[in-house]
A and B are shown apart, each in its own frame.
Chain A
Amino acid sequence: MLQITKAALESVFSHGEETFPEECCGCLAGPADGDEVTEALRCTNIQNRLHEKDPEHYPRTAKDAFNIDPLEQMKIEEAADEKGLKLFGYYHSHPDCESYFSAEDTRQATYPTTGDDDGPREPIWPDAHQLIASVKAGKADYAKAFTWVGVAEEFVEEEIEVSS
C-alpha cells in the first residue's frame, strides 16, 4: 500500500498538468522514520534531450516517455539525507492516457537476470512504489500506484491511502 498525504498527491497532479502534453516525473519522499510520502520532489524530464542526441537508442519523446535527470537525482538523494527524508519511489504522468504500468514502464524498471533481454527479469528497485497520474486534456484525472510482487514476478496495482 502507498501511504501519501493529500498535499503530496495534489503536487503530483499539478506537476502533470504543468508539463502536459509531456510526461512529468519525480521522486516520492517522506520522513526516514515514517511510512508515508509527504513530498513529491519534482525532476526534469530529459527524454527530449536524449532523443535529440541519440534517436536510435531513445526513439520516444517526452510525450510518451520520461527519463529523470541523473544529476538532479543525485542532488535529491543528498538533500533528502540532509533533511531526514527517504525516497519511497517515483512518479510520472501519462498524458491523455490511462494510469497503468505500461510495457515500457516495466522494461525500464526491470533488468534481465541472464543478460538476455527476452529472458527472466528482476525489478531494479524492488522496494519502490511507482505512482502514475493520468492527465487528460491538461487536467489530472486520477492516479494509480504499482509495486513489484516477487511471487507474481510483475508490477501489480496497490492501494493508495491518502491522508489529509
Chain B
Amino acid sequence: MAVKVNIPTMLRTHTGGNASVEIDGVTLSEVFENLEAECSGIKERLVDEQGRVRRFINVYLDGEDIRFLSDLDTEVGDAKEVSIVPAVAGG
C-alpha cells in the first residue's frame, strides 16, 4: 500500500514542485528507494553513502521520529504519512 510522503519546500525541485508523492514500500528504506526512482536525485539529499539518514534531515512516520522507531528499517505498515523535515541550524 502506498504511503504519502510529504516533501519540504527546499526539496521540491526533485518532485516537479509537488508537496507530496504517494510511494510504495514495506520499509522506509524501500520507500526512499522508490522515491528516488520517481524523483531522481532526491535520495542523495536524504541519505549518506552508508545508507543513514543525513544529520540535517528529520523523518517522521505518522508524527513519530523514526530515530525512536527503527530508523530506515521501520516498517510502514498502516501508517498514512512520511514527513521529511529539514533540520535548520547555524550560529
Q: Which residue of B lies closest to A127 (CB)?
A: B10
Q: State the majority secondary structure of interface residues on A.
A: mixed
- Interface residues as binary, B35-72 with A (CB distance below 8 Å gives 1, 0 otherwise): 00000000001001110001110101000000000000
Does any Cβ of A come within 8 Å of B85's Cβ?
yes
- Those of A106-149 within 8 Å (CB) of chain B: 108-109, 111, 115, 124-125, 127-128, 130
Interface residues of B (CB under 8 A from A): 6, 8-10, 13, 19, 45, 48-50, 54-56, 58, 60, 83, 85-91
A68 in complex: contacting residue of B6, B49, B88, CB < 8 Å: B88
Interface residues of A (CB under 8 A from B): 23, 25, 47, 60, 64-68, 70-71, 73-74, 77-78, 80-81, 86-87, 90, 92, 102, 104-105, 108-109, 111, 115, 124-125, 127-128, 130
A102 to B91, CA, bound (A): 7
Whether A115 lies near B49 (C-beta < 8 A) is yes
Whether A77 lies near B9 (C-beta < 8 A) is yes
A109 to B87, CA, bound (A): 10
